[in-house]
Structure 1
Amino acid sequence: MNRPILLAVDDDINVLEAVVQDLRRQYGSTYRVVRAASGQAALDTLQQLKAREEAVALLLSDQRMPGMSGVEFLEKARSFYPHAKRVLLTAYADTEAAIQAINTARIHYYLTKPWDPPEEKLYPVLDDLLQDWNAGYQPKFDGIRVIGHRWSLKDHQLRSFLSRNHVPYRWLDAAASDDAQQLLKERSLDPEALPVVLFADGSALVDPEQEVLAARVGLRTQPAQDFYDMVVVGAGPAGLAAAVYGASEGLKTLVIEPDAPGGQAGSSSKIENYLGFPAGITGADLGRRAHMQCVRFGAEFLTQRAMSVRADGQYRFVSLADGREVSSHVVLLATGVQYRKLEIPGCLDLTGRGVYYGAALVEAAACKDEEVFIVGGANSAGQAALHFAKFAQKVTMLVRGSSLEASMSKYLIDEIEKTPNIVVEPNTQVIEALGNEHLEALKVRGPEGESCRPAGSLFVFIGAAPGTEWLPDSILRDDKGFVYSGMDLSTADPKTSAKFKVQWKQERPPFLLESSVPGVFVAGDVRHGSIKRAASAVGEGSIAVQFAHQYLASF
C-alpha cells in the first residue's frame, strides 16, 4: 500500500516550498507530501488520487489564493476526502475568516503565518490531527475478524469491547456474509458457536471471556507489581485525569478498568462543549488521547474488574476478578455511572438484540436507512441523535418531558432542529418492547394515546446509576449508591453521619474528596453531589491527586 498523503496548497511558490520541506522533514518517512499551486489544481489532484483509491490524511491550504480561497478549496475537498484533516494557513488579518471556516468548511485547525519554529507552532498541531486521522484510518485489512449475528448480545458486547479499546477488526454477519461462512468452513468452526474471533495467524477464540480476549489482543490483564502508590479504579475522565497527574508527579499509578478508557463519556458520539476542541471531539477520541497521555507519563493500565476494597493499617487493597490483590497507599474510586435500565415488558430479553444502552456506536452502520428510536432528553441523547442521523433514514427522540430545554444544552437543541431527519416527540414514553429474535416494534404512549411502531433499534438514555454494590459498608453512600466524601460525610442524613462519627478515627477531618475510609478518595460522577459533566470529572480527578499527596505526607 502507498503511504497516506499530505497535500499542501499555496499560490506563493516560496511559501509552498517552505511548507513542503517542513512536512517532509517531520513526516516524510510515514507520509507522501504532495503539492499544488492553486485550489483548482489541488481539486484535480484529489480527483486523481480518489480514482487511484489512495489515502489522503491531511489538507493544508493557504487562505488567500486567486480564483479560489483556501476556505472554498477545503469545503469542496470534503466531497473527495471527507475524513481528511483540514488545516487553513492564514495571515493575522484573516483569523476571523478562519474562525468562521470551522463551521462552514468544517476545518479542524487554522495556523497563522509565520509558523516558525515548526517544532513549536506546526508539528504539535499536525501530530495531534494525524493521530486522530490514523485512529479512524482503515488500510487494506489483514487483521482480526469477528463473525457473529447482529441480533446477539454477546456479539454486541464483544464488538463494543474491541472498538472502545481501539483494537482494529472487521465484523462479518454470519447470516448475511458468504465470506463469513467460507471462513468458518476453512477453519472447521461450528457456525452455531458464535461469536468467534479469527486472528491473522490462523488461531481463533470461540465466544471468549472478556479477560481472555483482552490478553489475546495485547491488553494487560495482570499487574506488573504488587504495590503502587495510587490505584485508580475506573478509567473515565476522572480516573484518566488522576492517572495523568499522579504519574506525571512521580506516583506509581495503576488504573483498573474492565472495559475501555473513556468510561461513559467514551460512548459519546460527539462532545462539542469541551474546552479546547472548537470542532468537537468524540468520547472515544477523548479517551484515546487521555490514555496515551497517561501511558506517556508511566501510568499502568489493567483490563480487569475490581471486586472489593479493604484497608489494613497504612495499606489499601483492591481485589481483582481473577482472585489477585494489588496494594497501595491510596485508592481513588472513579468508576463513574452506568445507564439505568428501562423497566418495561420485553426490554430485558431484547437487550443487545435491538435494545441498547448508551450510544452503542458499533451499531451505527447497521442502522443505515432504518428508523432509529432514542429514549431520553439529556445531552447524551442529543449527541446520539445527531450521530445516528448520519446513518439512519429517520431518528425519533421519545422525550418524557414537555420539551428538551430543561435537560439539554442549547447548542444541541439548535443542531437537532436543523437536522431534517430527527423528529422530537415530547410527552411520550415507551411502555413495551416487542419482538422474538430481535426488536421488531415498540408500544408507545403519547399525547394522542397508545400506538405500536415498527422498530429495529432503540437506544436508551434515561439517567444513570453508580453501581457501587461491590464496595464495603465502611465506604458510606447515599440511598442511590453515590459515595459520600469530605464535608458531606458529616452533613449527610443523620444515620449516615452517625456511622461516620463512629467510624472515623482520625484527628483531622476528611479531605475534600476523601471517603469515609482514610486514603480512599472518590472523584467524578460516582461521587455524591458531583456535576455530571466530563470537564468537572476531569477537574475532580486532578484535584484528588493533590489530596492524595497530602494524605501520603501525613505518614
Structure 2
Amino acid sequence: MGFPTGISGADLVWRGEVQAMKFGTRFVMPRRIESLDQLDNGAFCATFANGRRVLAASVVVATGVQYRRLPIARLAEFEGTGIYYAATENEARFCRDTEVLVIGGGNSAGQAAMFLSRTARHVRLLVRGDTLASSMSSYLSSRLEADPAITIEYGTHAVGLHGGDNLEAVTIRNEDGDRTVASCAVFVMVGAAPNTGWLAELVALDDKGFVLTGEEAGALSPFATSCAGIYAVGDVRAGSVKRVASSVGEGSVVISNVWEHVRGLGRA
C-alpha cells in the first residue's frame, strides 16, 4: 500500500528510521544484544556484544525471523542476484519468460509458485518429501498439480549453483541422479527461525522458538509475554501474521501497553 512500483526492504527501513529520528528516537546501530536479564527492582538490563549494557523499564521484542538457508556452495554469493526468499512483483518481473525454481513444500512455497507462474515461462517446485498432503493445503496443492506451467518434483533438492555475476543454472538431485537445469532465479521457501536465543531464560517460547504472548503466556495484552514488562510484536511472536503491515500495526499498538506498564512502576 502506497508503493505502486515496489520498494526495497532497505529503503523502507531507512524511511522509517528518518521519520523516527524526527520524533527524537535514539538508535544504537549496529549492535547485537547477547543477553537480557531482569534485575531485583523489576527493570531489565540488556548486554550488547561489545560488553556495554543498557537499562530499561520495559522491552519490546521485534527481532523477527531469520530465513532458513540451504547448505549449498555459493548460496550467499547469489543472494539478491538469483537466490530469493520472497516472491514479490519485483522478482516476478525479473523472471518474466524464464524458468524458475521454488524450493519447499509448505503453503508459502505453493503460493510463490502460483504467483510466479503468471509471468515465468515455467515454474519447477522442488519438494524433498514424496507428498504435499501433510505440509500444504489441499486446495493449493490441487491447483499446483492442475497448472500446466508448474512441475512438481518430489524427492528432489538443489545441490549446486552456477553462474558469473548472476545465477544461470542449478544442479538438482533425486533418486535418478544429478542434472543441471538453466534458471535465473531460485526461491527458497523452507521456513524461518525466530531470533529468540537471547530470550529463552526470561519468556516462554513455543516448540519452534517463537515468543508466546497473550492468553498462551498467561497475559492480558495480546502482545505481552510471560514476563511482565516484556512485549513481542511482528514475526517473532507466536501466531502472528507474517506480513510487514501486520508487524507495523502491532508495533504501534503495543506502545500503549508499554506506557501502562511504565506508569504502573511509577517511572513515567
**Where on the TM-score scale, by shorter chain, does this alignment land: which range?**
0.7 to 0.9
Report if the CA contact (8 A) 1:373-1:398 is conserved: no
Q: What residue identity is the alignment partner of 1:350? A: R
Equivalent position of 1:287 in the other structure = 13
Could you list the runs of 5+ residues in structure 2 that have no partner in the other structure? 126-151
Matches within 5 A, 1:195-344: 275-303=1-29, 304-312=31-39, 313-343=41-71
Distance 1:321 1:404, change over 3 A: closer
Q: What residue identity is the alignment partner of 2:63? A: T
**Distance in structure 1 (CA, Å) of the matches to 2:59 and 2:212:** 15
Distance 1:418 1:483, change over 3 A: closer
* 1:301 to partner: Cα distance: 1.1
Q: Secondary structure at the match of 1:352?
A: helix
**Distance in structure 1 (CA, Å) of the matches to 2:43 and 2:263:** 14
Equivalent position of 1:424 in the other structure = 123
* 1:513 to partner: Cα distance: 1.0
Distance 1:446 1:401, change over 3 A: farther
Within the candidate set 529, 541, 544, 2:239 is matched to 529
- What is the number of residues matched between the two proteins? 233
Q: What residue identity is the alignment partner of 1:424? A: V
- Alpha-carbon deviations, 1:195-243, whole Å to 9, x = none? xxxxxxxxxxxxxxxxxxxxxxxxxxxxxxxxxxxxxxxxxxxxxxxxx
Query: Which segment drifts farther, 529-538 or 395-404?
Result: 395-404
Higher helix share: 1
Matches within 5 A, 1:56-205: none
Equivalent position of 1:353 in the other structure = 77
Tell me the TM-score normalized by structure 2.
0.72
* 1:489 to partner: Cα distance: 1.4
Matches within 5 A, 1:10-49: none
Report if the CA contact (8 A) 1:308-1:472 is conserved: no
* 1:403 to partner: Cα distance: 9.5
**Distance in structure 2 (CA, Å) of the matches to 1:445 and 1:300:** 49
Q: What residue identity is the alignment partner of 2:32? A: R
* 1:538 to partner: Cα distance: 0.6
Report if the CA contact (8 A) 1:399-1:424 is conserved: no
* 1:511 to partner: Cα distance: 2.7
Distance 1:473 1:383, change over 3 A: farther
Q: What residue identity is the alignment partner of 1:528? A: A
**Distance in structure 2 (CA, Å) of the matches to 1:476 and 1:553:** 24
Q: Secondary structure at the match of 1:517?
A: coil
Equivalent position of 2:209 in the other structure = 481
1:398 and 2:105 matched: no
Within the candidate set 248, 251, 261, 1:541 is matched to 251
Distance 1:409 1:288, change over 3 A: farther
* 1:449 to partner: Cα distance: 7.9
* 1:460 to partner: Cα distance: 2.9
Distance 1:486 1:373, change over 3 A: closer
Within the candidate set 398, 407, 432, 2:111 is matched to 407
**Distance in structure 2 (CA, Å) of the matches to 1:284 and 1:292:** 12
**Distance in structure 2 (CA, Å) of the matches to 1:458 and 1:485:** 35
RCO higher in 1 or 2 (8 Å CA, sep ≥ 6)? 2
* 1:351 to partner: Cα distance: 3.5
**Distance in structure 1 (CA, Å) of the matches to 2:110 and 2:184:** 29
* 1:282 to partner: Cα distance: 3.0
Q: Secondary structure at the match of 1:487?
A: helix
**Distance in structure 1 (CA, Å) of the matches to 2:56 and 2:188:** 38
- Alpha-carbon deviations, 1:433-478, whole Å to 9, x = none? 267x998863325899852236787553422110211224221111
**Distance in structure 2 (CA, Å) of the matches to 1:281 and 1:353:** 22
1:451 and 2:179 matched: yes
- Alpha-carbon deviations, 1:391-433, whole Å to 9, x = none? xx945133545998952498xx2xx44535x531232343412
- Alpha-carbon deviations, 1:50-95, whole Å to 9, x = none? xxxxxxxxxxxxxxxxxxxxxxxxxxxxxxxxxxxxxxxxxxxxxx
**Distance in structure 1 (CA, Å) of the matches to 2:107 and 2:52:** 49
* 1:554 to partner: Cα distance: 1.1
Equivalent position of 1:462 in the other structure = 190
Tell me the TM-score normalized by structure 1.
0.37
